[in-house]
Amino acid sequence: MKMIAIIPLAVLAAIASAKTTCQEACHIEKPQCKTGMIALQSATSPCWSCCFTDETVCLAVCYTEPPTCKDGMAPTKNGECYTCCRAPSLSTETDVEPFPLPTVIPRVAEICDRRCDDEPPVCDGDWVPFQPGGGSCWACCDPTSLPGTDPEIADEPEVEPKPLIPEICDRTCFGEPPEDCGEGRIPWNMSDEAPCWACCDDPNLEQK
């Protein structure tokens, strides 16, 4: 048997966490796991756990003929190479209750903070304004718990459009709104500090 290539990594250890479940027990030393489970060490602590994984784990070597494998692995051919692989483990092979890694759990109720505002509030993080239970109170809610066609997108509150500001006005300044500005024109206060009314072209007509 001849090994014709060595890949720089010793073992393909990149097991996707989303496809792995482990027992909650923490072992200081590498444990002997039941059939169908493999021992994995935490990336953030010295803990070892027995885990299931639905990915195939192989030694990163290439032999010209089937090798003798250890540690529960079996000879596997990939292209022109033979290597030792551990097949995906199945939860049906053991009666051990696995401890699942964090996953997205479907929500069956709205999750909101305890407030009752008259207007849509400014929310922190990814939370959004919403009226829980279809009532009149506004609160900040987790968008993944809200109804809608997409669970990740909350129903956006309706926002009243701001009035358009006239661009063409008479050079006059009345203390009160003029009563007759003519067709297509509206009275408009030109100053925010004091009454200064004039007749202006209606900007809403210009948009049509």
Would you state the structure tokens that stand for residue 88, as one six-digit string?
């995906």
Average pLDDT over residues 27-52: 74
Q: What is the pLDDT of residue 18?
A: 36
On whether both 112 and 148 belong to a single domain, the answer is yes
Length of the chain: 208
Average pLDDT over residues 32-42: 72
Average pLDDT over residues 119-126: 88
Average pLDDT over residues 38-50: 74
Which one-letter amino acid corresponds to residue 83?
Answer: T
User: Is the pLDDT reported for residue 14 higher than 70?
Assistant: no
Position 74 in a domain: yes
| Torsion 40-43-45-46 (CA) sign | positive
On whether both 87 and 7 belong to a single domain, the answer is yes
Kindly report which listed range (22-26, 105-109, 115-119, 138-142) carries the lowest average pLDDT score: 105-109
> Phi then psi for 204, rounded to 5 degrees?
-70, -30
On whether both 57 and 77 belong to a single domain, the answer is yes
Q: What is the pLDDT of residue 70?
A: 78
Question: Which residue range is the domain that position 33 belongs to?
Answer: 3-93
Number of domains in the chain: 3
On whether both 51 and 18 belong to a single domain, the answer is yes
Would you state the structure tokens that stand for residue 121, as one six-digit string?
């509030």
Which one-letter amino acid corresponds to residue 31?
Answer: P
CA distance 33 to 160: 62
Looking at the DSSP bridge assignments, the partners of residue 57 are 86
Position 40 in a domain: yes
Position 204 in a domain: yes
Position 99 in a domain: no
On whether both 176 and 146 belong to a single domain, the answer is no
Kindly report which listed range (21-25, 71-75, 119-123) carries the lowest average pLDDT score: 21-25
On whether both 30 and 87 belong to a single domain, the answer is yes
Residue corresponding to tokens 């097991």: 15
Position 100 in a domain: no
On whether both 191 and 138 belong to a single domain, the answer is no
pLDDT band at 105 (very low <50, low <70, confident <90, very high): very low
Higher pLDDT, 60 or 179: 179
Which one-letter amino acid corresponds to residue 84?
Answer: C
On whether both 109 and 153 belong to a single domain, the answer is yes
pLDDT band at 89 (very low <50, low <70, confident <90, very high): low
